[in-house]
Amino acid sequence: EDQVTQSPEALRLQEGESSSLNCSYTVSGLRGLFWYRQDPGKGPEFLFTLYSAGEEKEKERLKATLTKKESFLHITAPKPEDSATYLCAVQASSQGGSEKLVFGKGTKLTVNP
């Protein structure tokens, strides 16, 4: 069974204090790994897709990286507006091209000014 585990569950940072969020996954053939941001009362907002180990993608203060067993979301010099829950999801190639995403429970990030 495909599984995604995110850590920590919650993270508090001071503005400007860089850190990383972890997403560990177990999947029989990775087709893609996705990062989403979710603000309270809203739907998840797409950030990145990573397809193969060694791949990296950046957007403003965020950088996502991928290995064969985990992905990291690095946040450099965060600002209060980066406060949100960050969700990781995997799409397995073993399901014959299925579009199904399996999500982790997320990391709730709070950045204090």
Partner 1 sequence: DAGVIQSPRHEVTEMGQEVTLRCKPISGHDYLFWYRQTMMRGLELLIYFNNNVPIDDSGMPEDRFSAKMPNASFSTLKIQPSEPRDSAVYFCASSYQGQGTDTQYFGPGTRLTVL
What's the rounded Cα separation, in Å, for the pair 93 and 39? Answer: 29
**Which of 1, 42, 60, 68 lies at the binding interface for partner 1 (CB under 8 A)?**
42
Least distance in angstroms from the C-beta of 78 to partner 1: 23
> Is there binding between residue 113 and partner 1 (CB under 8 A)?
no
Q: What is the arrangement of strands in the sheet containing 19-26, beginning at the earlier edge strand? A: 3-7, 19-26, 70-75, 62-66, 56-59
**Which of 27, 30, 34, 109 lies at the binding interface for partner 1 (CB under 8 A)?**
34
Subset of residues 74 to 93 that bind partner 1, contact rule: CB under 8 A: 87, 89, 91
- Within 10 A of 56 (CB to CB), how many other CB atoms are there? 12
Instruction: Give the pair of three-digit tokens for residue 99.
Output: 């579009």
Least distance in angstroms from the C-beta of 98 to partner 1: 6
Instruction: Give the pair of three-digit tokens for residue 7.
Output: 């850590």
Residue ranges binding partner 1 (CB under 8 A): 31-32, 34, 36, 41-46, 49, 87, 89, 91, 98-106
